Structure 1
């Protein structure tokens, strides 16, 4: 099985190999979620699968880097992304807005990357009956796969660093509204010296993606020596590729977040022109950062795929100004970006529901 180098080859493998396996895994987790005893936990688990299927579909594209082991990697990616989406829902709908609660919940994401780590009571700061072992089963699924990797020790430092950024972000951005920006700014200042020039809200966006984790794990599934490559992958994906990913996510959610009063990092740009300049900068830097990686054509297609598939979302069509800006971004994406845009547009309108 060859890693795809051209858009048509990539889409063929996505439709034939990736998406059917993703939906099989999600069907299994949906069945487990339906058996959760606690009403609120059950509601949020099912909602995370129903409304965020796209996250698992997109993340699982990286399984193609695992070659013949792609099915095992899809099981890991779907489980890990489902933890992420489920916890995001729990934090978004939290009444207490307690950072200790958010930190405890997200310990599961670090434990999932640490085979042999004892499972904890991740709900210990909230009043719930039981999730029927749902979150623990997701964590164990990730652990069971990772412990089979011969290069686990090589990749764990990079995985933990990226997951640490992700978990910190989830804590800071979900606390009481008047505490969010001060906490995020303080967090940024603690890391600023090690970062290229960017703002606190761009750093937050770079931290909010799981793509780097999925990329590293996928390579590790087909390679024995990952020590140097894991570092190169982490430094290539963080900050630029991950930042591009999450900025696009927030870009298409602007109207929804305005209505809901939710934090959106695109709101902090001083003008639309500055935001467009920075988007172009992230696109350029994302391309540069992956240019020396193995399978660089694959990674560049992912960058173009991010642009095309996000901007094909139905939310864009409903926001006049966002739609106009999206057209400007698509011009930067070129022919490959347009190819993925058309595929994304068709898929999102005709795909079967999970």
Structure 2
């Protein structure tokens, strides 16, 4: 595979479909095989479901490996293992009968340990009856630890990676507790963390923490031996809060109907109107673009930002959302001409799969 960082859409899509995605699915097949051997029925079911239903998370995350040069497969290995932990734990929390925050915290110690190679494994299932996973979760954690442990410059990014990972885990805990506790917990959490983000609402702060993009970007540059303190600062400022916030607001935007049917919290419903939501997503997009200009490989990161916008807006669920006829062209036009190119390709891909 060519090791240059793509700066044009055709090159990005070629490398993604020719190299990255096949490697992602090869590794996911290996984790699926391990998941099939989980002794506990419930844990096995949730592990398999997380792989089968959420593989696209690993596909998207895998694209960050394109900044890693010849060592790109190492980044893919980290991304697939880390994202599989995220998706598996999300399933376990979603399906939990107890809604016990201690259980959710204990489960998410796995993410903390994944980015701290010196940490021993813990009993992640301490607060739940289902425990026998045949070493599945520990194997995922060990895979992440094994990658970052071998990186000569991991200490340069470790603090930022750990902070972003911790914020993600804390969000998952607050998100999954009893319905009457969720908003008070998320509001208090926002108050405690006001100093690390610009002025925004509690639900916007929550959205910014719920993406793994910043972790993957930092690890990818580290795998490619391309890190220094200035790069770490620029990646952090670009991806958190702006790129990650835009990502999750779009994710929640397309899931509004499903979340309403399932009684799930959706951040988009806290805006006073669809116009306000549209404007704020646009604001996050503008801030992301400003920060991207300060990044190395700025054209690549701009394409990823455009790809996120196009992927979500091209989703089949969008056409049934109120206000979509205004939202979609507004955001596509704001995002730029190439976003329309990506959008058309995603739409065509969906038709081929149908």
- TM-score category (smaller protein): over 0.9
The aligned residue for residue 274 of structure 1 is 276
The aligned residue for residue 127 of structure 1 is 129
- 1:259 pairs with 2:252: no
Partner of residue 158 from structure 2, selected from 156, 159, 168: 156
Calculate the TM-score normalised by the size of structure 2: 0.96
- 1:292 pairs with 2:294: yes
* TM-superposition CA deviations, 1:23-64 (whole Å, max 9, x none): 101111111111111111111111111111110000110000
Stretch deviating more after TM superposition (303-312 or 221-230): 221-230
Q: How many residues align structurally? A: 352
Calculate the TM-score normalised by the size of structure 1: 0.96
* TM-superposition CA deviations, 1:296-345 (whole Å, max 9, x none): 00111111010001111122234353354223222212211111112222
The aligned residue for residue 56 of structure 2 is 54
List aligned pairs for 1:1-354, cutoff 5 A: 1-223=3-225, 225-322=227-324, 324-350=326-352
* TM-superposition CA deviations, 1:123-165 (whole Å, max 9, x none): 0000014011110000000011111100011110000110111
SS of the residue aligned with 1:27? Answer: helix
Residue 349 of structure 1, CA deviation? 4.3
Root-mean-square deviation (CA, aligned residues, Å) is: 1.4
Distance in 2 (alpha carbons) for counterparts of 1:50 and 1:321 = 31
- Whether contact under 8 Å (1:37, 1:129) holds in the other structure is no
SS of the residue aligned with 2:272? Answer: coil
Distance change in 2, residues 1:349/1:113 (3 Å):
farther
Stretch deviating more after TM superposition (220-229 or 16-25): 220-229
- Whether contact under 8 Å (1:205, 1:242) holds in the other structure is yes
- Whether contact under 8 Å (1:55, 1:81) holds in the other structure is yes
- Whether contact under 8 Å (1:41, 1:131) holds in the other structure is yes
Distance change in 2, residues 1:208/1:62 (3 Å):
same
Distance in 2 (alpha carbons) for counterparts of 1:48 and 1:148 = 28
Distance in 2 (alpha carbons) for counterparts of 1:270 and 1:211 = 28
Distance in 2 (alpha carbons) for counterparts of 1:57 and 1:194 = 29
- Whether contact under 8 Å (1:252, 1:322) holds in the other structure is no
Structure 1, gaps ≥5 residues long: none
- Whether contact under 8 Å (2:274, 2:323) holds in the other structure is no
Structure 2, gaps ≥5 residues long: none
User: Which runs of structure 1 show a deviation greater than 4 angstroms over 4 or more consecutive aligned residues?
Assistant: none
Residue 235 of structure 1, CA deviation? 1.8
Distance in 2 (alpha carbons) for counterparts of 1:323 and 1:33 = 42
Distance in 2 (alpha carbons) for counterparts of 1:174 and 1:192 = 22
